[in-house]
C-alpha cells in the first residue's frame, strides 16, 4: 500500500511538471531601424550656401543649403515692373475716356460741320455761276473743285461723328478682357519665377540628424545629385523576427521593452506596430540563441527614444508583454513604419515559396 501511494504521488508530481504554463513574455533579437532621406535641389544651379555639417541636429523647415538665384531675382523684378504696366493699362481701359477727350472729339465734329456748311455754300454759288443765263461764269476746274470740297467735308463730318460716338461709348469689352488676360499672364510669370527662386532653398522635411554632407559651396547641383543625407529621429523601430509558433501570440499594439548592450539597465518603451504577412528565412544579420534557419515573420516594434540613445543598425533585445492587449497604432506612425520596404527574401526563401 505504501509503495502504491508513493508511486501515485510521484506520478501526479510528474504530470504536474509536464503541464506547460502559458508564456507571459516573448524575447526577440533584432536591430534598430530609422528612415533616411537623401535631399537634392529640384532646380539646377551653383551652390552658394551650405549651412550644416555631419552630426548636426536639424529642425523641420530649417534651411540647409541655397543656390545662387540672383539671375532669377532680377527677372522677378522685371516681371513685377511689367505687372505694374499691365495694371495701369487695364485701369485706363476700365475707366474709359476722359471728359476732356470726349469734349475734344465733339469740338472736332463741330469744326467739320462748319467746314461742310461752308463747302455747301461755295458749291451753291458755283452752281449759280455755272448755270448763268449768259453762259458759264465759272471755269470747269473751279466748279469741279467746289463739288469735291463739298464731298470731302461731308465725309470728314461722318468720320468725326463716328469718332465722337466711340469716345462716348468707351473701350471695347474685348480690349478690356485682352488687357485682363495680359495682366494674368504677367502675374503667372512672376509666380513661376518666385517658385523657381524658392526651389533654390533646400529645407529639412522633418527633425533629423545630418549623416552625410555630399556637396560644397561652388559645386553645381541638380535634381540627380543629393546634397545631404538625413537620418530622421522619428519614428524609430526595432526590426525583429518571430517564428510561426509564436506568431499567433503577437498582436499590433502590444507593449514591449527594448534594451541594448550600451544601456542594459535602461529599457525603452515600445509598441508592436507592424507584423509582416509574408514569411522568410531568418536573415543572417539577426542574432538569436537558436542559429538554425527557420521561417519567420518580420515584426517592427515602434519605440519612443526622445534622448536619441538608439542608433541605426544597433543590436537590441526586445521583450514583448504577451499579456498586454493590442491597441490601435496612430495612423501616421503606422503608415510611416509600414512604408519602409521589407527585407528582401533570400533566394532559398523564394524557391521555397
**Tens digits of per-residue pLDDT, 150-171?**
999 999 999 999 998 888 888 8
Cell of residue 164, nine digits: 465722337
Convert the pLDDT of each residue in 219-262 to its tens digit: 999 999 999 999 988 888 999 999 888 888 899 999 999 999 88
State whether 91 and 189 are in the same domain. yes
* Whether 286 and 336 share a structural domain: yes
pLDDT for the residue 326: 63
Assigned domain for 219 exists = no
**Higher pLDDT among residues 335 and 129, named by residue:** 129
Residue 302 is part of a domain; what is its CATH number? 2.40.30.170
Q: Is 47 part of a structural domain of the chain?
A: no
Strand order in the sheet with 63-67: 201-203, 63-67, 45-50, 220-221
Summarised one tens digit per residue, pLDDT across range 265-290 is: 889 999 998 898 887 776 655 555 55
Closest CA to 233 of 318, 301, 304: 304
Q: What confidence tens digit (pLDDT) does each residue in 179-192 have?
A: 999 999 999 999 99
The whole-angstrom separation of Cα 288 and Cα 175 is 80
Please, where are the H alpha helices in the chain?
2-18, 70-95, 99-130, 140-169, 173-198, 244-247, 331-338, 347-352
Please list, in sequence order, all residues whose beta carbon lies within 8 angstroms of the beta carbon of residue 314, skipping any fewer than 6 positions away: 31, 32, 260, 262
Query: How many of the other CB atoms lie within 10 Å of CB of 196?
Result: 18
Backbone angles phi, psi at 10, to 5 degrees: -65, -40
Dihedrals phi, psi of 123, to nearest 5 degrees: -70, -35
Contact 232, 48 (CB under 8 A): no
- 26-58 pLDDT per residue, tens: 999 999 998 889 999 998 999 999 999 998 999
Q: Mark whether 81 and 160 lie in a shared domain.
A: yes
Give the total number of structural domains in the chain. Answer: 2
Residues 28 and 91 in one domain: no
Quickly state the pLDDT bin for 2 (edges 50, 70, 90).
confident
Any domain includes 40? no
Distance CA 27, CA 74 (A): 63
Dig out the grid coordinates for 133 from the structure: 443765263
Q: What is the mean pLDDT of the chain?
A: 84
Nearest to 318 by CA among 326, 310, 330: 310
The predicted model gives 93-112 an average pLDDT of: 88
CA–CA separation, 289 vs 246, rounded Å?
15
The kind and range of the H/E element at 184 are helix 173-198
CB 201 within 8 A of CB 25: no
Residues 252 and 315 both lie in one domain? yes
**Rg, C-alpha atoms of the chain:** 45
Cell of 126: 458755283
Question: Which of 193, 221, 254 delimits the end of a domain?
Answer: 193
The mean pLDDT value for 314-342 works out to 67
Does residue 336 belong to any structural domain of this protein?
Answer: yes
Does the pLDDT at position 340 exceed 70?
no
E strand segments, 214-294: 220-221, 228-243, 255-259, 268-281
* Residue 156: predicted pLDDT: 93
Q: Answer with the one of 145, 166, 193 that is the final residue of a domain.
A: 193
Query: What's the CA gap between 190 and 144, in Å, rounded?
Result: 63
User: Which of the residue ranges 15-24, 192-201, 291-300 would you say has the lowest mean pLDDT?
Assistant: 15-24
Q: Which domain holds residue 135?
A: 77-193
In a domain, 154, yes or no: yes
Distance CA 270, CA 327 (A): 12
DSSP summary character for residue 289: S
Identify whether residues 166 and 264 lie together within a single domain.
no
Contact in structure between 120 and 100 (CB atoms under 8 Å): no
0.75 surpassed by pTM:
no
Residue 283's contacts (CB-CB under 8 Å, 6 or more residues apart) are 241, 343, 346
Pair 228, 64: CB distance under 8 Å: yes
Judge if 27 and 112 occupy the same domain: no
Asked whether residue 29 falls in the same domain as residue 83, the answer is no
For residue 336 the three cell numbers come to 510611416
Interatomic CA distance for residues 43 and 138, integer angstroms: 85
Q: Does residue 236 sit in the same domain as residue 180?
A: no
Query: For residue 216, is it within any domain?
Result: no
Amino acid at each position: 500500500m505504501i509503495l502504491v501511494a508513493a508511486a501515485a504521488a510521484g506520478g501526479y508530481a510528474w504530470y504536474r511538471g509536464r503541464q506547460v504554463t502559458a508564456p507571459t513574455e516573448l524575447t526577440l533579437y533584432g536591430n534598430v531601424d530609422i528612415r533616411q532621406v537623401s535631399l537634392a535641389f529640384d532646380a539646377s544651379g551653383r551652390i552658394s550656401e551650405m549651412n550644416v555639417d555631419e552630426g548636426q541636429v536639424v529642425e523641420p523647415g530649417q534651411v540647409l543649403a541655397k543656390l545662387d538665384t540672383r539671375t532669377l531675382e532680377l527677372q522677378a523684378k522685371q516681371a513685377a515692373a511689367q505687372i505694374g504696366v499691365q495694371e495701369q493699362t487695364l485701369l485706363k481701359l476700365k475707366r474709359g475716356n476722359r471728359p476732356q477727350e470726349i469734349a475734344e472729339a465733339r469740338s472736332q465734329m463741330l469744326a467739320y460741320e462748319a467746314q461742310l456748311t461752308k463747302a455747301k455754300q461755295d458749291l451753291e454759288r458755283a452752281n449759280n455761276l455755272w448755270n448763268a443765263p449768259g453762259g458759264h461764269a465759272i471755269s470747269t476746274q473751279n466748279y469741279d473743285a467746289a463739288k469735291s470740297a463739298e464731298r470731302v467735308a461731308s465725309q470728314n463730318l461722318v468720320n468725326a461723328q463716328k469718332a465722337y460716338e466711340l469716345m462716348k461709348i468707351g473701350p471695347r469689352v474685348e480690349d478690356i478682357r485682352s488687357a485682363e488676360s495680359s495682366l494674368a499672364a504677367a502675374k503667372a510669370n512672376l509666380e513661376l519665377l518666385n517658385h523657381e527662386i524658392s526651389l533654390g532653398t533646400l529645407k529639412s522635411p522633418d527633425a533629423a540628424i545630418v549623416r552625410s554632407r555630399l556637396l560644397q559651396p561652388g559645386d553645381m547641383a541638380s535634381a540627380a545629385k543629393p546634397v545631404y543625407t538625413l537620418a530622421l529621429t522619428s519614428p524609430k523601430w526595432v526590426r525583429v523576427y518571430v517564428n510561426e509558433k509564436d506568431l499567433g501570440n503577437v498582436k499590433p499594439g502590444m507593449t514591449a521593452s527594448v534594451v541594448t548592450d550600451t544601456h542594459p539597465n535602461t529599457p525603452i518603451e515600445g509598441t508592436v506596430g507592424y507584423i509582416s504577412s509574408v514569411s522568410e528565412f531568418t536573415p543572417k544579420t539577426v542574432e538569436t540563441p537558436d542559429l538554425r534557419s527557420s521561417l519567420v515573420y518580420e515584426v517592427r516594434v515602434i519605440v519612443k527614444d526622445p534622448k536619441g540613445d538608439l542608433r541605426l543598425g544597433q543590436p537590441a533585445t526586445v521583450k514583448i508583454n504577451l499579456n498586454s492587449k493590442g491597441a490601435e497604432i496612430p495612423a501616421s506612425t503606422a503608415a510611416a513604419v509600414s512604408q519602409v520596404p521589407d527585407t528582401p527574401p533570400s533566394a532559398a526563401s523564394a524557391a521555397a515559396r
